[in-house]
Structure 1
C-alpha cells in the first residue's frame, strides 16, 4: 500500500517537474491551479487522518516532542498553531464520519473541514446544513454560519467567560526584523478595537485612492493602528490648557449589534436566534445590553426595520435604513468578494472605473 502511495507521489513530482509552466496559456495555467487544489485537498486529508491515528497509537511519543501537535509541527515543518488546528480537527473527525468522508473525497478543503467540524461537534444536527453551505459560500460566510451554530448550541455566558479568561496580547520580532502582534479576546472587546480602527482605516483608504495608491486592506489596518497609537501618545503628552480638560472627543467609530427582539426581552438566545456584532460574531445578550448606553452603538433589533419593504426615497436614505443596510451588507456584495473597507451603499463611481467596492 505505501509502496503504491510512494510511487504515485514520485510520479506526481516528476510530472510537475517536467512542466514548462512559463509556456502555459491562461487556460492551461488555470487548469494547473485547479489540479493543484485537488492535490492540496488530498494532502490535507492524508495529513489530518494520519495524525489522528498517530495520536491514538501514541506514535508521537519518545521522539522529543511534548505533544502530538509539536511532533506534527516538527515532522511537517508547519507552524505550531497550524499543527494544533490539524490535531484538533483529526480528533473531531473521529465523531463526524460524514464530514471525514467529505474531506477524504476532496469535497472539503482543510479550512472548510475545520469550520464544519467546529459546528457539527457541538450541534450534530447542523452537520448536513454546514456541509451543504460549504459548497456555495466563501470560507468567511461559512465561518460566520458556524459561529452562529456554536453560539446557539452552547451556554453563551460561560463561553464568553472562558474566552475572556484566555485573553492575551503577544508581540515578537521576526527573523526579518519585523514587529508582530497577536491578540485574543472576546468578540465584544474585539469589536471595540475594530470600531476604533475602522473609521481611521476608511479615511486612509480614501486618501490612498485619491492619490492613486493601491495597497492591501491589511496594510491600511496597520496604518490605522499606528495613527490611533500616535493620537493616544500625543494626547497623553500634550500640556494641559487651563485648569483641566473638561471635554474629551471620541472618533466616529460605530459598532452594529444585531439581536432578535425575543432574545433581547428574554435575556438570552435560543435555537435559531441571533445576538451578534456585525462582522465579528455572536455575543451574549447580557453583553449587548451592557452597551446600550454607549454613544457609538447602533442596535438593530431584527423585529424592527425590514429593509426589504422600504421603497426608494431619494439619494439620501434615512438613518434607520442606512443602519439596516450597513449591518446586512457588512462585506462587499459582489459574489466571492470579502472586502470590508471602502464600501459604498450607492456606487457614485463604478468599481470598474476605480470606485469603491
Structure 2
C-alpha cells in the first residue's frame, strides 16, 4: 500500500510540474526569468539602470519596436511574413510630412492642415497593408518575395518624395504622440501599452484572434470550419501596416523630424523580438505576453550595452546573438514542458 502511494506521489509530482511548465511556456512567460536576471545584473553593474528616468527611457525606446512587432505578429500568426513593415515605418510619416510642410522646407507645397498629418500617415500605412494582402490573396504571390520587393520600393519612395532630404518639425499631428508626456509618462509608452492590451484581448478572447491561430495552425481545416481565410489574411496585413505606420509616427515625434533613414533595420529587431517571445514563424503560436517579453529583452540589453559605453556595432551584433540564445531556450523549454526528449 505504501509503495503504491509512493508511486502515485511520484507520478503525480512530475505531472503537476509538467503542467505548470507547459502553461508557463504556452502563456508566453519563458523569457521573463531571463529578463529578471538581466535587470538584476543591470542594477549591479550600472547604478543608473534602475533610475526612474532610465526605465522610462527604455519603455519609450521600445514603443516603436513594440508596435512594429505587434503588427508583425498579426501576419506571422497566419504563417506569413511581411518585410515591408520596415519601409512603412519610414514612408508613411514622410509622405504625411511632405504633404504638410511648405515647398521651401522640402514639401510638395500642398500644405495640408496640420491635423491631417496623422490621417495621411495612418491612411497610407493601411493602404499599403491592404496592397500586401491583395498581392498575397488575389495575385497569389509568395509573401516573402512580394513584401521584400515592396520594402525596397518604399525605401526608394522615401528618397523620391523627399528629394533625399529629412523634413524637420513637420507639425504637431505627427510629433505630439511621440514627444509629449502625461503625468511624466511618454504618450508613446501609453500608446504602446494600450495597443498591446487591446490586441492581447483580441488574440485571447475574440473570434478574430481564434481565426488567426486556426489559419496559422491548419489553413485547410480553418476553411473547412467556415472561417473566411482570405478575409482574415487580408485584414492581418492591413493591421500590420497600420501599426507600422503608427510606429513611424511615434518615431517621427521623438525625432521631431521625418528622416530618410527612418526605421532602417527595425524589421530584424521585430523578428528577433517575436522569436524571443515565442511566436512561431510557422504560424499558429504566440501571444502578446511573449511579444512584450521579447521587446523588453532587446530594449534592456541595448540599454545596458549603451550604459556600459559599448560601441554601437556590438549593440547591433547582440541582437543576432539574442535570437540564437532565445530560440534555443524556447525550444528546450517547449520540449521539456511537453515531455519530449531533447537530442544530445
TM-score clears 0.5: no
Query: Which structure carries more strand by proportion?
Result: 1
Q: Per the shorter chain, which TM-score range?
A: under 0.3
TM (norm. structure 1) is: 0.26
Query: Which structure carries more helix by proportion?
Result: 2
TM (norm. structure 2) is: 0.26
